[in-house]
Amino acid sequence: MPEAPTIYEVARHAGVSIATVSRALRRPDDLREETRERVLRAVAELGYVPSGPAHGLATGRTWVLGLARADLHDPEVEEGHETLLFADEVLRGMEWAARQAGYAVLLATADQLWRDFDLELAGKTDGMVVLARSVSAEVLERLARRVPVVVAAGPDVPEGIDHVSVANSEGTAAVTAHLLEDHGAERLAFLGGPPDSPDAASRFNGYRAALAVAGRPAPGRPDLAADFTEGGGRAAMRAYLADGRRPGAVVCANDQMAVGALAALAEAGLEVPDDVLVTGFDDIQLARHVSPPLTTVKQPMRQLGATAAELLLRRIDDPLVPPRAMVLNTRLVVRQSCGCQEDDDHPTAKE
């Protein structure tokens, strides 16, 4: 790196002023063709690339969007892959939308324990997307004082902040209705998530709503619950069966627990879907590979990221637009664990 050339070198090389160089790059139409080409040639010859900081300082914009997502505690852990995948997919969607608008994406991984990150990162961006519960309410508030913020899939969004979330409740409602209406399921049970998870709570609510719609009694709390992990799901299901219970269908609050439940059911000699129907939530990659392939509710992860980015860009453009809350649809993905024969999918929910 022989010291990156600046706009001054290019100007000298092309025999013009630095203003002209800037124009050749940013508003080519303002220049006479011959001048423009001369400048562009100099740019190419020198391998000139404008300094991001200088550009940013002069325009008052960084042209960068930040994403705050949670870190995994121990860099070596293999569990929690799903959380990661979720964030990766959101990132993908976000980057896609950002790029359309000429923005790049900067990563700000939040410490899982403190639920915060170096705020100085925010100074490098024009706005940030905060994913799920990656930062604390207090950090969120401080952050929002400095740059526009959009919360994605997060609970408890403070007044006045844009956010996008997923129709969790409608998702489980749809899959439950499918079980009820299309398979005449009886003796349903719900395998819930951790008590402090708002997602788990909404999913349970959707389940209850579907039962109510069908005129069935709905329980006040999940019949069994675990911590969203495969192992937890297996243990919970084992204990449930050990009590002598024999559900006709198990609606699970996520796929990993459903996979665990499948294992426990198999251990107990129960056939899915012949003896029991099982459904999940998320549509992780594994869902289609277990046996039988898992009927589940697909989360629109990429769309979540893309939508968050769009809301953010909109607010950057005009800080005064009224804040918006969006809810994205899930999609029912029918495979065999619900008793269906062939793959198929039905859309669900609302905006």
Partner DNA sequence: GGGCAGGATGTAAGCGCTTACAGGCAGCCG
Partner DNA sequence: CGGCTGCCTGTAAGCGCTTACATCCTGCCC
Give the interface with DNA as residue ranges (CB under 7 A). 6-8, 15-23, 25-26, 30-32, 34-35, 48, 50-51, 54-55, 57-60
User: How far from the centroid of its chain's Cα atoms is residue 247's Cα?
Assistant: 32
CA–CA distance, 14 with 20 (Å, rounded to integer): 10
Nearest to residue 343, comparing CAs of 303, 296, 300, 301?
A: 296
Residue placing its CB nearer to DNA in the complex, 56 or 248: 56
Among residues 176, 229, 169, the alpha carbon closest in space to that of 202 is found at 169
b/e for 195-214, b at 16 or more Cβ within 10 A?
A: eebbbbbbbbbbbbbbbeee
Beta carbons within 8 Å of 262's beta carbon, 6+ residues apart? 272, 278, 290, 291, 294, 337
Q: Closest separation between CB of residue 62 and its own copies, Å?
A: 6
Q: How far is the CB of 38 from DNA (least distance, A)?
A: 8
Helix (H) or strand (E) holding 64: strand 64-70
Of residues 176 and 336, the one with the C-beta less far from its own copies: 336
* 8 A C-beta contact, residue 215 and residue 182: no
Could you give the angle at the alpha carbon of 207 between the alpha carbons of 291 and 259, nearest 5°?
Answer: 20
CB of 300 to its own copies, least distance (A): 11
CB nearer to its own copies: pick between 4 and 242: 4
CB of 104 to its own copies, least distance (A): 6
Closer residue to DNA, CB minimum distance, 7 or 257: 7
Q: Where on the chain is the footprint of its own copies (CB under 8 A)?
A: 1, 4, 47, 49-57, 62-64, 72, 75, 81, 84-85, 88, 91-93, 95-96, 99, 104-109, 119-125, 142, 145-148, 259, 285-286, 289-291, 302, 319
Residue 18 contacts which entry, its own copies, DNA, none (Cβ below 5-8 A, type-dependent) = DNA
Rounded least distance, CB 197 to its own copies, Å: 22
Q: Which is closer to DNA, CB of 57 or CB of 137?
A: 57
100 binds, among its own copies, DNA, none (CB under 5 to 8 A by kind): none
**Contacted entry of DNA, its own copies, none for residue 172, CB cut-off 5 to 8 Å set by kind:** none
The least CB distance from residue 7 to its own copies, in Å, is: 11
In whole angstroms, give the CA distance from residue 259 to residue 94. 29
The answer to whether 282 and 254 have CB atoms below 8 angstroms apart is yes
